[in-house]
Amino acid sequence: MADDGMLMNFSIGDTVIKPEAKFKGGTWRDRLTAKKRSAHRGSEKEPGDAAARNAAAKNPNQIQLGTRPVKRQKTDDSFNRPSAPRSGGDRRPQHPRDPTQFISSLFSSNPEARNPEEPKEEREVEAAKPTNAPMIDGLDTFTNLGLSPNLAAHLLTKLELKAPTAIQTSSITQLLKEENDAFIQAETGSGKTLAYLLPLVQRIMDLSKAKNEHNDTQVHRDSGLFAIILAPTRELCKQISVVLENILRCANWIVCGTVIGGEKKKSEKARLRKGLNILVATPGRLVDHLDNTEALDVSNVRWLVLDEGDRLMDMGFEEELQGIVKKLDARQRPSRIPSVPTRRTTILCSATLKMNVQKLGEISLKDAVHIKADPNEEDDDKSDKDEEESFRVPAQLKQSYAIVPAKLRLVSLTAYLKRTFMRKGSVMKAIVFMSCADVVDFHFELFSRNQDRDQQRKSDGEEKDGKDEEEERDEEKEKLSPHGTIAPGRAFSTPNNPVLLHRLHGSLPQAVRTATLGSFARSTEACVMICTDVASRGLDLPNVDLVVEYDPAFSADDHTHRIGRTARVGRDGRALVFLQPGCEENYVEVLKRGYRDGGKALTRTDANEILKRGFGGNDKKKNWEEKTTDWQMDVERWALDNPTYLEMARRAYQSHVRAYATHTAAERSMFDIKELHLGHLAKAFALRDRPGKINVPGLRPGQEDTKKDFKAARNGAAGNKRKADDAPSSTNVTDEAARKMRAKMREHMSGANEFNLA
Ligand SMILES: Nc1ncnc2c1ncn2[C@@H]1O[C@H](COP(=O)(O)OP(=O)(O)OP(=O)(O)O)[C@@H](O)[C@H]1O
C-alpha cells in the first residue's frame, strides 16, 4: 500500500533544486527538457509569483506554486501539463510551509497493465441473441402453456405481455402439470416474478371452478390462505404485491395482501382476520404472526414461494425460514375444498446458485425439479465448482472492462460519461455504482458543479465565500428535487443533451430514496444515477442502457445483480467495470465466468482510449492530455477553494479505502489493499493531500492508521502486541471489521429495494 513513486511535478525554490539534479524516467527527450527547464527556472525571475502568493493568502487551502517559467505561469495547472518534464519518483513538497500537499502529474508514474491485451481479431464475435427476451417468434403463447384464455387475454390486453420468456415457458409448464417442489434459476431481468406468479394464480383460479351445492364458486376471501410468498425486504414484497394485484384484476374474487411491517400490527391482524388467499410477507413478520395472530390460519397453504433465495440467506433469515417451514408442515390440514392438492409445493427462486441457496433448498425443498430457461442445459455439478461460478449474464449484454490507473480514475469516468452523452438519444439512462455513500455524495457534488459560473465569477473578480456558494447551490438543487438528490449533471451535459444527475444510497431516508428512484424511473431526459449497491438487486428500472461499475462490486454475486439492471427482458445493454492495473486485472476471470462461451464478447479498453474519446475533440489548440489535465486541475482547485467540498473529498477518499477492504474473502487477492496506491488514489478524489494527513472529523484517523491495521492484520498476529488469549488475532479483527462493514452495507441494502415504483 505504498504511496511512493508518486511524481511531484511542481515548482520548487532554488534552495531545494540542486543544479546537479538527476532526471529519471520518461523518454530521453522528456529528461532533456526537464533538465533545461530546471536550469531555466534557476535563472529566471518570476512575475507570476506575487499573484500566486496572493491567491494562496486568500484561501488557506490554496497551494502556492512558487516559481515557474514565464510562459507557464498562467495557472497552477500549467505545471501539470503532460508535456511538462517528469522526474519519475521525485517527491517534493509543493510549498515549504505546507508539506502535506502537492500536485502530481496525471500522466506520469502510472503503473502499466500486467496482462497483455488479446489480439483484436480473436475478440470479434457475432452479436449474441438475447437470452432473457419474450419469445415472440416462438410457438409458445401463454394460452398454449396452459393458462386459461381469460388470464392469457388479460396478460395480452391489459399488461401488454405478448409472449412468455424462456424461464416462464419452463416454469409455467412444470408448475401447472406437476406438484413437485421447484428451484427456479434464471438470469436477471428474465421475468422470474411472473414465472412463479402465473402458475400459482392459475392453480388458485382452477380451484374456483368447482362449485358448491349452492352453485357458488368455492374460492373467496375467507375460503382459506392458499399461498405464501416470502421475499427478503419490505420493498421487494411491495413490488411483488403490485405485480400480483395487476394479475388478479382478471380474477377479483381472489384476494391478496401483505404483512411486511412498517404499519401497526393491529392493522395487519385485521387484514388477516378479513381473509386473504395469497399472502406476500417478509420472513420476520410472518414468524411474528404465526406465533401471535390466531386469525392466521395456515392449514390450507399449498404453495410457498421463497423469492430472491440468495438474499434471504445473505440477510440471515435461515432460522426464520426453517421455523416457518416446520410450522407450515405441522399445521397443514386437509382442505374442505376437494380440488385443493394434498401436499404443499415449495418454490425457491434465485438468479444465482450459490452454496447458501443450496442450503436453503435443503431446508425447504423435497425432491425438487431444477427449472431453467433452457431445459436442455446440463445441471452444474456443484461439488467441483466454485460457488461464484454459478451465475450467468444475459448474452446480449455487452460487457467491457477498462484498465485505469488510480490517478486517472476520476478523469476517465468523466471522459467516459462525456462521450456516452455526447450524442442525444444514444443512451438514455446510466447507473454508476460506487463503493459507499460518501463517495456517491462527493461525485454528485463534483459532477453537478457549475463550472461556467465559477469561471465567470473568477474572471469578474467576484468574491463569494463558501457559504454563499453553498446556499446558491442548495437553492438550485431545491428546484430540481426537494431532497437535493437530483441536479444537472453538468460535467457530461452538452447544450443539445442535458443530463440529469441522481444520487442514491442507504444513508438517505427511505422516502427520499423512493422519490429519487421514482424520478429516475420516470425521467424522459437523459439521466445518470450514481449509487451504491442499494440499487443493485431486484429493482426493475425501465430503459437503463448502461451500467458502470466505477468501483467493482464487493462480490461476484453483487456484480451479477448490478449489471442485471440493464439488458432486461431482451433489451440491449452495456456494462463497464473499472479495474486498476495489477491484481485487479485478475477480476477479468470472474467476469468471464458469467458467459457460456468463456467471455469472448468481453472487451477491453484503457484510460488513454477513454480520455482521447472523452476529452479529445475539435479544439486544435490543446490535445486531449492537456484538456484532461486542465479539467483535473480545475476540480482540484474547486475542492481546495471550498472547505465543504474539500471535507467531502477527504471523507469520500477515506470511506472508499475502508470499503475497499470489505471485498469477500474469495476476491480479496484481486482487491488487495496492500497494492492500493493511496497517493495516486487521492488524485481521483481531487485531493492534493498526502494520504496520511487525510483526516476527517467523525471518521477514524488517516489512512496511515488504516494501512497499519491492514498490514498488521495481513501479517498475522506478529504485529499484535496483545496476547492471543486476551484478544482476537488481528486477522480476526480485520475479518470482523470487514464482516461488520458488509453487515452495515447489507443493512442499508435491506432498505434499498424499498422503492415502490408502481
Ligand atoms: N413475458 C414478458 N414479456 C415482456 N415483459 C415481461 C415479461 N415477463 C416479465 N416482463 C417484464 O420484465 C421485467 C423484469 O421482470 P422481473 O423483475 O420479474 O425479472 P427478474 O428475473 O426477477 O429480475 P431480477 O433477477 O433482476 O430481479 C418486468 O418489468 C416485467 O414486467
Residue from 680, 607, 484, 634 nearest 91 by CA: 680
What integer is the mean pLDDT of 141-168?
93
Cα–Cα distance, 430 to 414 (Å, whole number):
13
Q: Tell how far the Cα of 569 is from the centroid of ligand 1, in angstroms.
A: 6
With a 6 Å cutoff on the Cβ, whether 405 touches ligand 1 is no
What confidence tier does 716 reach under pLDDT thresholds 50, 70, 90?
very low
| pLDDT score, position 313 | 87
| pLDDT score, position 324 | 96
More confident position, 28 or 327: 327
Cα–Cα distance, 346 to 272 (Å, whole number):
22
What integer is the mean pLDDT of 52-65?
38
Q: Tell how far the Cα of 707 is from the centroid of ligand 1, in angstroms.
A: 44
With a 6 Å cutoff on the Cβ, whether 192 touches ligand 1 is yes
What integer is the mean pLDDT of 663-669?
88
Of the CA atoms within 13 Å of residue 704, those in its CB half-sphere come to 8
Dump pLDDT digits (tens) for 399-458: 999 999 999 999 999 999 999 999 888 778 999 999 999 999 999 999 999 866 666 556
pLDDT at 165 over 80: yes
What confidence tier does 564 reach under pLDDT thresholds 50, 70, 90?
very high
Amino acid at 336: R
- Going from N- to C-terminal start, the domains of the chain cover 149-372, 397-459+473-617
Pocket test for ligand 1, best of 162, 185, 193, 533 (most atoms within 8 A of CB): 193
Q: Among 72-86, 248-262, 402-416, whose mean pLDDT is lowest?
A: 72-86
| pLDDT score, position 749 | 43
Would you say 255 and 277 are in contact if contact means Cβ atoms under 8 Å apart? yes
- Closest atom of ligand 1 to CA, residue 162: 3
| pLDDT score, position 540 | 84
| pLDDT score, position 217 | 61
pLDDT at 210 over 50: yes
What integer is the mean pLDDT of 550-554?
95
In the chain, the percentage of residues whose pLDDT exceeds 90 is 46
With a 6 Å cutoff on the Cβ, whether 581 touches ligand 1 is no
> Residue whose CA is closest, atom 8 of ligand 1?
191
| pLDDT score, position 427 | 79
| pLDDT score, position 601 | 79
> Residue whose CA is closest, atom 12 of ligand 1?
191
With a 6 Å cutoff on the Cβ, whether 191 touches ligand 1 is yes
| pLDDT score, position 294 | 94
The complex scores an ipTM of 0.99
Strands 345-350 and 303-306: parallel
Q: Tell how far the Cα of 354 is from the centroid of ligand 1, in angstroms.
A: 21
Residue from 186, 144, 180, 185 nearest 163 by CA: 144
Q: Among 543-547, 678-682, 746-750, whose mean pLDDT is lowest?
A: 746-750
With a 6 Å cutoff on the Cβ, whether 66 touches ligand 1 is no
Q: Tell how far the Cα of 25 is from the centroid of ligand 1, in angstroms.
A: 54
pLDDT at 659 over 70: yes
| pLDDT score, position 322 | 93
pLDDT at 757 over 50: no
pLDDT at 82 over 50: no
What confidence tier does 310 reach under pLDDT thresholds 50, 70, 90?
confident
Q: Which residue has the cell 499573484?
A: 51
Helix (H) or strand (E) holding 628: helix 624-641
More confident position, 175 or 118: 175
With a 6 Å cutoff on the Cβ, whether 188 touches ligand 1 is yes
With a 6 Å cutoff on the Cβ, whether 190 touches ligand 1 is yes
With a 6 Å cutoff on the Cβ, whether 321 touches ligand 1 is no
Dump pLDDT digits (tens) for 385-399: 444 445 778 889 999
Strands 278-281 and 303-306: unpaired
CATH, range 397-459+473-617: 3.40.50.300
What confidence tier does 514 reach under pLDDT thresholds 50, 70, 90?
confident
Q: Tell how far the Cα of 191 is from the centroid of ligand 1, in angstroms.
A: 3
Calculate the CA 56 to chain-centre distance: 39
Same fold, 149-372 and 397-459+473-617: yes
In the chain, the percentage of residues whose pLDDT exceeds 70 is 69
With a 6 Å cutoff on the Cβ, whether 540 touches ligand 1 is yes
- Closest atom of ligand 1 to CA, residue 351: 25
Angle between helix 149-157 and helix 192-207 axes, rounded to 10 deg: 140
pLDDT at 526 over 90: yes
CATH number of this structure's domain 149-372, picked from the four choices 2.60.40.420, 3.40.50.300, 3.10.580.10, 3.80.10.10: 3.40.50.300
What confidence tier does 607 reach under pLDDT thresholds 50, 70, 90?
very high
> Residue whose CA is closest, atom 30 of ligand 1?
191
| pLDDT score, position 750 | 43
pLDDT at 58 over 60: no
More confident position, 92 or 406: 406
